A and B are shown apart, each in its own frame.
Chain A
Amino acid sequence: QSVLTQPPSASGTPGQRVTISCSGNTSNIGSNTVHWYQQFPGTAPKVFIYSNNKRPSGVPDRFSGSKSGTSASLAISGLQSEDEADYFCATWDGNLNGPVFGGGTKLTVL
């Protein structure tokens, strides 16, 4: 069971806005910045959002991240078929003294 809680699945139609939540506690999300990773089947994860809301170069501005208290969210607007992937949230946990991940959310574009 993962330390951070994500819904196992999310879906939307092309053009829609979808949000994926990530819930933690005061020792992890409540105290540290959150990062989001995108993973396609059979490939390594890739950082998509870092430090709560920053996008690496090449990531479209359709993707945005936010954090409030002990929860974080990844929002995808103008959903496209190529956005279909698994998304994992992550942060540092001060009690565990290491990084922790969410269980992952499989995004399906209908």
Chain B
Amino acid sequence: QITLKESGPTLVKPTQTLTLTCTFSGFSLSADGFNVAWIRQPPGKALEWLALISWDDDKHYSPSLKNRLTITKDTSKSQVVLTMTNIDPVDTATYYCARGLDDDSFDVWGQGTMVAVSA
């Protein structure tokens, strides 16, 4: 069974750095063809892709957030970590990690973690 689960703080203060961890099981990020992406969704709004890391450590970032994001993977722990600097209230959202396939679809998603940004 393939699962992904997000973890991290639920409340962050403006200007702080947000660190989110995606812990997955049922597949390996060292295998050809898979990637893990972070996608967020502000309350009542659309999905927004943030970053993606491939099995070969290739990394892609949303151009609009590229300067604030870092994505890394720890294959031995089956984890992908996303850090976002200089957090702002507009970053309040549910953050999802998802497994990506070669066709660029995301076939399995985590349950999501809600992050609120407030002083």
Residues of A within 8 A of B (CB): 2, 32-33, 35, 37, 43-47, 50-51, 56, 88, 90-92, 96-104
Q: Measured between C-beta atoms, what is the minimum distance from A35 to chain B in Å? A: 4
Residue B47 at the chain A interface, CB threshold 8 Å: yes
Interface residues on B, range: 20 to 34
Chain B residues within an 8 Å CB radius of A100:
49
Residues of B within 8 A of A (CB): 37, 39, 46-49, 52, 60-63, 96, 100-101, 103-107, 109-112
Pick the residue among A44, A50, A90, A104 that contacts B96 (CB under 8 A). Answer: A44
B62, A98: Cβ atoms closer than 8 Å: yes
Chain A residues within an 8 Å CB radius of B46:
2, 88, 101-104
A35, B110: Cβ atoms closer than 8 Å: no
> What 20 new A-B contacts, CB under 8 Å, besides A43-B111, A45-B47?
A33-B104, A33-B105, A35-B103, A35-B105, A44-B110, A47-B106, A47-B107, A50-B103, A50-B105, A90-B105, A91-B104, A96-B63, A97-B60, A98-B52, A98-B62, A99-B52, A101-B47, A101-B49, A104-B46, A104-B47
* A26 vs B52: C-alpha distance when bound (angstroms): 22
- Among B62, B105, B107, the one with the most A-chain Cβ atoms within 10 Å of its Cβ is B105
Q: A44-B96, A44-B112 are in contact. Are A101 and B48 (CB under 8 A)?
A: yes
Q: Measured between C-beta atoms, what is the minimum distance from B47 to chain A in Å? A: 4
A46, B105: Cβ atoms closer than 8 Å: no
Q: Of all chain B residues, which has the CB nearest A4? A: B46
B105, A51: Cβ atoms closer than 8 Å: yes
Q: Measured between C-beta atoms, what is the minimum distance from B113 to chain A in Å? A: 11
B110, A50: Cβ atoms closer than 8 Å: no
A98, B47: Cβ atoms closer than 8 Å: no
Pick the residue among A44, A88, A99 that contacts B111 (CB under 8 A). Answer: A44
Chain B residues within an 8 Å CB radius of A103:
46
Chain B residues within an 8 Å CB radius of A44:
96, 109-112
Q: Of all chain A residues, which has the CB nearest B52? A: A98
